Amino acid sequence: MLKKITGETWKPLEFPGWKQLRKKYALSSHGRVVSYSEDIHEDGKLLNGSVTTGYKTLNLHRSGSSGTLYIHREVARAFLKKSTPKHKYVIHHNYDKLDNTAKNLKWTTLEEMIEHQQKSPAKVAYKKVQATRTKGLKLSLNDVKSIKKTLGSKTRITPIKKLAEKYGVSEMTLYRIKSGENWARVK
């Protein structure tokens, strides 16, 4: 017997191939998932699922599909409305990828999702560590100053590819230095 939670509502979990499965599945507004035969509360079995890249997932093997359902996306699909068709991404307000309650989720655009991720406590801590890191770097402080001077020059004729080869880094590294994503503290 499934324990009831005050204020929790259930909706059927429908996905491609769900009708071919022996059991029925349902999602709750609290991010819980059950499999059941007749009644969610009478014969429902709470499913734990798995964790994939920090997100709670459910692997249901059905023909013609990979089988992995991301619970946060399914809860959002069942309980939240999208503002526009551009709102394709689901974020967790509190940055806890395992908290899939409907009130913690929100549909966003790609730009809003990226902005939200940049404010994540984990991302902020990572940036702080990276900004003060001195060991294990391919480039020295002087290398970066020289690269920034070269990249900022209006008369530069050296292609990015040649500059990357000269310093033994990828072209993407140079683009990140130029945009300030990497080595922003160096002027």
The domain boundary residue, chosen from 105, 125, 145: 125
**Owning domain of residue 57:** 10-125
Q: Is residue 105 part of a domain?
A: yes
- Given this model, what pLDDT does residue 163 score? 92
| Confidence (pLDDT) at 64 | 65
Q: How many domains does the chain have?
A: 2
**Measured between alpha carbons, how far is 162 from 176 in angstroms, rounded to an integer?**
16
DSSP symbols for 12-73: E---TTGGGSSSEEEEETTS-EEEESS-HHHH-EEE--EEETTEEEEE---TTS--EEEHHH
Q: Tell me: do 26 and 80 sit in the same domain.
A: yes
Q: What is the 3-state secondary structure (H, E, C) of 132-157?
A: CCCCCCCCCHHHHHHHHHHHHCCCCC
Are residues 101 and 30 part of one domain? yes
Q: Which two tokens stand for residue 98?
A: 């395992």
Whether 59 and 144 share a structural domain: no
Q: Are residues 58 and 150 both part of a single domain?
A: no
Domain match, 96 and 51 both: yes
Say which residue the tokens 């395992």 belong to. Answer: 98
Tell me, yes or no, whether 50 and 111 share the same domain: yes
Residues 108 and 144 in one domain: no
Look at residue 25 and tell me if it is in a domain.
yes
Q: Which of 31, 16, 12, 116 minimizes the C-alpha distance to 73?
A: 31
What's 77's domain CATH number? Answer: 3.90.75.20
Same domain (yes/no): 59, 99? yes
Say which amino acid occupies 85.
P
pTM above 0.75, yes or no: no
Q: What is the pLDDT of residue 63?
A: 65
Mean pLDDT by 10 residues, the chain (187 residues): 88 82 91 92 91 92 75 96 95 96 96 94 86 79 90 90 92 90 81
